[in-house]
């Protein structure tokens, strides 16, 4: 048992509307499900190993949370086993020693010095790349019934009580900027008035004006975000935050910028500083313009007019699960959305 290997474990969480879930994988060599875990390679920190392994196993890009100083649960079965020589922002939450069975590295039993990290996925609806293992998100109630090692269930359950507040504290809560809020609302009103009064047939002059309005708002919002970050409700109130989302939603001529803003908006949603449905609309908008493979949307927010003058959603990634996705982020049903769009465009 003298052989020691440095490993990194990742307790991975994501916010689905108001519900938090933890990510678990099913490994071909292991029974049951557990959290992603990697051997730390030479020249690699445990944080780098954690991020790498999550991407390999799950397909998600994660954001590590800095340690909070919370103690391990009293009934956690493994003893703390040392300090990690890493900076505070990327240090593990705990380092524990755990017995490990023979695997594809040592031929006999050995000891894992496990650097336990905690991370969040800000955009959890669909991984960015295919993962190596079966992966799923579970609620705290499902975790209790999971076929998983005891330490996974014990620590995972405890972290459900810690992670939401920890993720929220990672986002600054600035003082309200009333001037920014008013300018966001002014630009929102110009945007909506212009779109509400578009004629059935667009002239070159109107199309040019439309482009001018959108590009001016996009450039202005880019400068704001460069200066203050994503304008969430703490900075500019509920109306201002919604106006910021609307301007980003209409920045279609700058797809890379729109994608970068989706990441920032997603972090704000995780921290409770923006509405989940804002991100849902922006995710779908990016998807149908080629931001995801196949252009499939998750929430069915984006519609198109068919040759028969009927309105229907652009293709949806999971038609059977779209109702649950919409409910999680606070949207009405797809049928209600379709009816409203038809009435608004009658």
Closest CA to 230 of 278, 301, 166: 278
Are the C-beta atoms of 17 and 328 separated by less than 8 Å? yes
**Chain mean position to CA 253:** 23
Q: Tell me which residue range forms the domain holding 329.
A: 290-346
Residues 262 and 344 in one domain: no
Looking at the domain assignment, is residue 282 inside a domain?
Answer: no
The confidence score (pLDDT) of residue 28 equals 61
Residues 155 and 236 in one domain: no
Residues 12 and 27 in one domain: yes
Looking at the domain assignment, is residue 225 inside a domain?
Answer: yes
- Helices 233-249 and 255-270 cross at an angle (nearest 10°) of 150
Looking at the domain assignment, is residue 162 inside a domain?
Answer: yes
Burial class (CB in 10 A: 0-12, 13-18, 19+), 81: middle
Closest CA to 5 of 30, 40, 50: 40
DSSP 316: B
Looking at the domain assignment, is residue 280 inside a domain?
Answer: no
CA 51, CA 49: separation in Å to the nearest integer? 6
Task: Find where tokens 């890009």 sit.
Answer: 61
Residues 83 and 229 in one domain: no
Enumerate residues 6+ apart whose C-beta is below 8 A from 147.
Answer: 31, 32, 33
CA 159, CA 70: separation in Å to the nearest integer? 10
Q: Which of 244, 274, 304 is the last residue of a domain?
A: 274
Looking at the domain assignment, is residue 23 inside a domain?
Answer: yes
Residues 245 and 267 in one domain: yes
DSSP 2: -
Residues 54 and 89 in one domain: yes
The confidence score (pLDDT) of residue 1 equals 47
Q: Which of 274, 302, 334 is the last residue of a domain?
A: 274
pLDDT, tens digit only, all 346 positions of the chain: 457 788 999 999 999 999 999 999 987 666 689 999 999 999 999 999 999 999 999 999 999 999 999 999 999 999 887 666 666 668 999 999 887 765 555 555 678 789 999 999 999 998 877 887 789 999 999 998 999 999 999 999 999 999 999 999 999 889 999 999 999 999 999 999 999 998 888 899 999 999 999 999 999 999 999 999 999 999 999 999 999 999 999 999 999 999 999 999 999 999 999 999 999 999 999 999 876 666 899 999 999 988 777 889 999 999 999 999 999 999 999 999 999 988 887 7
CATH of the domain at 90: 3.90.79.10
Tokens of 262: 């989706």
Closest CA to 300 of 291, 289, 288, 290: 288
Number of domains in the chain: 3
Looking at the domain assignment, is residue 279 inside a domain?
Answer: no
Buried b (16+ CB within 10 A) or exposed e, 211-225: eebbeebbeebbebb
Are the C-beta atoms of 232 and 245 separated by less than 8 Å? no
CA 300, CA 341: separation in Å to the nearest integer? 12
Looking at the domain assignment, is residue 285 inside a domain?
Answer: no
CA 300, CA 323: separation in Å to the nearest integer? 9
> Residue 4's beta-bridge partner residues?
111
Closest CA to 227 of 166, 286, 177, 282: 177
Residues 13 and 125 in one domain: yes
Looking at the domain assignment, is residue 228 inside a domain?
Answer: yes
> Residue 11's beta-bridge partner residues?
118
Residues 157 and 208 in one domain: no
Enumerate residues 6+ apart whose C-beta is below 8 A from 40.
Answer: 6, 7, 8, 46, 49, 115
Q: Which of 152, 169, 186 is the last residue of a domain?
A: 169
């Amino acid at each position: 048992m003298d052989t020691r290997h440095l490993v990194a474990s990742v307790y991975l969480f994501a916010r689905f509307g108001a519900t938090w879930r933890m990510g678990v994988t099913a490994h071909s060599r292991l029974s049951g499900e557990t959290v992603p875990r990697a051997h730390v390679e030479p020249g690699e920190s445990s944080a780098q190993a954690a991020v790498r392994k999550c991407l390999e196993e799950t397909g998600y890009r994660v954001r590590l949370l800095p340690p909070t100083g919370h103690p391990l649960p009293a009934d956690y079965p493994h003893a703390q086993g040392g300090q990690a020589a890493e900076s505070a922002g990327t240090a593990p939450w705990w380092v524990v020693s755990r017995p490990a069975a023979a695997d594809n590295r040592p031929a006999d039993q050995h000891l894992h010095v496990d650097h336990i990290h905690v991370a969040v996925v800000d955009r959890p609806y669909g991984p960015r790349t295919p993962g190596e293992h079966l992966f799923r998100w579970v609620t705290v109630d499902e975790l209790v019934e999971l076929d998983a090692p005891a330490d996974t269930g014990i620590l995972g359950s405890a972290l459900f009580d810690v992670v939401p507040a920890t993720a929220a504290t990672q986002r600054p809560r600035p003082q309200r900027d009333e001037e920014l809020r008013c300018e966001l609302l002014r630009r929102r009103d110009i945007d909506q008035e212009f779109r509400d009064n578009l004629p059935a047939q667009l002239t070159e002059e109107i199309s040019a004006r439309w482009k001018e309005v959108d590009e001016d708002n996009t450039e202005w919002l880019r400068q704001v975000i460069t200066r203050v970050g994503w304008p969430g409700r703490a900075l500019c109130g509920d109306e201002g935050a919604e106006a910021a989302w609307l301007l980003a939603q209409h920045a279609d001529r700058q797809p890379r910028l729109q994608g970068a803003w989706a990441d920032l908006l997603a972090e704000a949603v995780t921290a409770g500083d923006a509405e989940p449905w804002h991100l849902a609309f922006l995710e779908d908008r990016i998807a149908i313009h080629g931001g995801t493979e196949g252009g499939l949307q998750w929430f069915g927010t984006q519609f198109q007019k068919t040759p028969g003058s009927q309105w229907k959603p652009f293709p949806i990634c999971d038609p059977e699960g779209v109702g649950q996705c919409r409910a999680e982020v606070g949207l009405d049903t797809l049928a209600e959305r379709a009816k409203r769009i038809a009435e608004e465009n009658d």
